[in-house]
């Protein structure tokens, strides 16, 4: 007996009901992108490995989680683990610096070799936004506002809270890094193995540790706010004031950090307690050093990415349902069924959803129409076809009438 084929571990099939939720999230993000002046960009699902691996060898994504392989030509290829690096590469290779400021939106699948669990998959989906060429803290505010509007539009803002922090500028960050190294070095022997590695290469990442012993040391670690210079304090104050003006509720979380050196100033996450351990649904921040680190000219940037898998799991099911009228076409006999194809096309040409039911006897077709929650059934039998007519049954009211075929083009399906 042959082995039963299953999806690869960490992947799954999106069946129609869940796919509809995904489409709803994507369309909502895209529509909001247009309102905020973002243009859509599509980058390849795989890139040269150096697009991702040159960005920081201490990143967990780089060290443990990328799908990296040699293609048939011997080149090292990596399936994209996130969207920002690909957008930054496109910005450089397509010569987009002349178009600054530039706002770009993307969506699509990403890949990370992680331990699968609820809300975390090896193939997952993201929407994201990148705002390039703006140094103003108000660009950070608008980026956060776009994210907040998206969460409101898909009905989950009430399930999420915004956590925000600042990393300061390069000078502030360097001073804070030195303070963390000095503090955690006193406990180096007792830190987790990951944190021991981070102490040498990426000390800010220790603040992300979930290890219980590490968390005890983190409680008394130096705080970023004590190492901010005046310009960094002013930048963060402007971001907080901007969010306040837009009535975006937030909490300052001093432990919220990004480990890579190209991040600066604002970092933020929208989190929920509805998804267990995988509580972050949208995360972003300012990355003024990214494009320069990838070989381009120094270009400020701020953006965010959101997991569609997690967002869709929170969306109220009825919110994603299409509320447009559905019409079912039913052939009552062979002649009616032969003509039903043309009738269905006439209805669809008006932009009305239409399902042509082609299997089963008349009774089964009517049952199917009701199961689909069709509002109307258009019934065609020999008498209707020969008389150039169609029977229109209102399935909600239980009434029906016979109209001419020509009147179908203007019939009010309401």
pLDDT of the residue at 275: 83
Backbone angles phi, psi at 407, to 5 degrees: -75, -15
Tokens of 221: 């670690």
**67-76, 116-125, 244-253: segment of lowest average pLDDT:** 116-125
Same domain, 394 and 253: no
pLDDT tens readout for residues 91-139: 999 999 999 999 999 999 999 998 887 768 999 999 999 999 999 999 9
339: helix, strand or coil = helix
Q: Which of 267, 285, 318 is the last residue of a domain?
A: 318
Mean per-residue pLDDT over the chain, rounded: 92
- Lowest-pLDDT range of 8-12, 161-165, 315-319, 341-345: 315-319
The pLDDT, as a whole number, for residue 55 is 58
Separation in Å, CA 221 to CA 26, 181, 276, 300, 304: 40, 10, 26, 30, 27
CA dist., res. 158 & res. 410, Å (int):
43
Q: Taking the mean position of all CA atoms in its chain, how far away is CA 401?
A: 47
* Average pLDDT score over residue span 307-325: 86
Q: Are residues 155 and 235 in the same domain?
A: yes
CA distance 14 to 21: 10
Q: Which residue has the tokens 């005046």?
A: 230
94-103, 195-204, 300-309: the lowest-pLDDT one: 195-204
Is 197 contained in some domain?
no
Residue 190 lies in a domain: no
Q: What are the C-alpha distances in Å from 52 to residues 79, 196, 244, 277, 290?
A: 10, 24, 36, 26, 11
User: Among 203-212, 297-306, 361-370, where is mean pLDDT lowest?
Assistant: 203-212
The better pLDDT of the pair 316, 302 is held by: 302
pLDDT of residue 392: 97
- What is residue 315's predicted lDDT score, i.e. its pLDDT? 94
Q: How far, in Å, are 33, 37, 211, 355, 361 from residue 30 at the CA level?
A: 5, 11, 38, 28, 43
Residues 259 and 125 in one domain: yes
pLDDT band at 284 (very low <50, low <70, confident <90, very high): very high
What whole-number percentage of the chain has pLDDT above 70?
96
What does the pLDDT read at residue 277?
A: 67
pLDDT > 90 in the chain, percent: 80
pLDDT-derived band at 61 (thresholds 50, 70, 90) equals: low
Is a pLDDT exceeding 90 seen at residue 205?
no
Domain shared by 272 and 402, yes or no = no
User: Is the domain of 274 the same as that of 389?
Assistant: no
Shared domain for 37 and 141, answered yes or no, is: yes
The predicted structure's pLDDT at residue 222 = 92
What's the mean pLDDT in 53-64?
57
Q: What is the pLDDT of residue 194?
A: 87
Q: Which of 318, 351, 379 is the last residue of a domain?
A: 318
Q: What's the confidence (pLDDT) of residue 58? A: 47
Q: 396 and 247, same structural domain?
A: no
Residue 204 pLDDT > 50 = yes
Last residue of a domain, one of 272, 302, 318: 318
The DSSP secondary structure of 357-398, one letter per residue, reads: E-SS-HHHHHHHHHHTT-SEEEEE-HHHHHTTEEEEEETTTT
Q: Please give the residue range of the domain that contains residue 379.
A: 326-410
Q: What is the CATH number of the domain that holds 94?
A: 3.30.930.10
**DSSP letter string over 70-107?**
E-TTS-EEEE-S-SHHHHHHHHHHTTGGGG-SEEEEEE
pLDDT score recorded for residue 60 = 53
Q: Each residue of 142-164: pLDDT tens digit?
A: 999 999 999 999 999 999 999 99
Strand 301-307 versus strand 280-286 pairing type: antiparallel
Q: Are residues 253 and 331 in the same domain?
A: no
Domain count within the chain: 2
Query: At a CB cut-off of 8 Å and minimum separation 6, what does 41 contact?
Result: 87, 90, 104, 105, 106
pLDDT, tens digit, 9 for 90 and up, residues 6-45: 999 999 999 988 999 999 999 999 999 999 999 999 999 9
């Amino acid at each position: 007996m042959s082995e039963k084929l299953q999806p690869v571990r960490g992947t799954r099939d999106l069946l129609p009901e869940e796919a509809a939720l995904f489409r709803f999230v994507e369309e909502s993000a895209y529509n909001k992108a247009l309102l905020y002046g973002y243009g859509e960009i599509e980058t390849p699902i795989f890139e040269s490995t150096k697009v991702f691996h040159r960005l920081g060898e201490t990143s967990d994504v780089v060290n443990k989680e990328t799908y990296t392989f040699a293609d048939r030509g011997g080149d090292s290829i990596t399936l994209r683990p996130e969207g920002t690096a690909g957008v930054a590469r496109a910005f450089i290779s397509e010569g987009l610096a002349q178009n600054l400021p530039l706002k770009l939106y993307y969506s699509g699948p990403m890949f990370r070799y992680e331990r699968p669990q609820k809300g975390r998959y090896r193939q997952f989906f993201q929407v994201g936004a990148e705002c390039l060429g703006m140094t103003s803290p108000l660009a950070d505010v608008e980026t956060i506002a776009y994210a907040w509007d998206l969460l409101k539009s898909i009905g989950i803002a009430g399930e999420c809270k915004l956590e925000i922090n600042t990393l300061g500028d390069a000078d502030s960050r360097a001073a804070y890094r030195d303070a963390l190294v000095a503090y955690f070095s006193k406990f180096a022997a007792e830190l987790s193995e990951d944190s021991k590695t981070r102490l040498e290469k990426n000390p800010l990442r220790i603040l992300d540790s979930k290890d219980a012993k590490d968390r005890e040391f983190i409680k008394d670690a130096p705080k970023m706010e004590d190492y901010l210079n005046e310009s960094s304090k002013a930048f963060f104050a402007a971001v907080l004031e901007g969010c306040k003006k837009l009535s975006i509720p937030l909490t300052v979380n001093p432990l919220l950090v990004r480990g890579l050196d190209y991040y600066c100033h604002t970092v933020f996450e929208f989190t929920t307690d509805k998804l267990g351990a995988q509580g972050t649904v949208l995360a972003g921040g300012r990355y003024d050093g990214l494009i320069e680190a990838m070989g381009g000219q120094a270009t400020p940037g701020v953006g965010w990415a959101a997991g569609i898998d997690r967002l869709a799991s929170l969306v109220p099911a009825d919110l994603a349902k299409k509320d447009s009228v559905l019409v079912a076409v039913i052939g009552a006999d062979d002649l009616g069924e032969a003509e039903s194809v043309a009738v269905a096309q006439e209805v669809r040409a008006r932009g009305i959803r239409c399902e042509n039911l082609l299997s089963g006897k008349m009774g089964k077709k009517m049952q199917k129409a009701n199961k689909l929650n069709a509002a109307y059934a258009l019934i065609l039998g020999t008498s209707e076809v020969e008389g150039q007519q169609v029977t229109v049954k209102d399935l909600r009211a239980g009434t029906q009438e016979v109209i001419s075929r020509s009147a179908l083009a203007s019939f009010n399906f309401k």
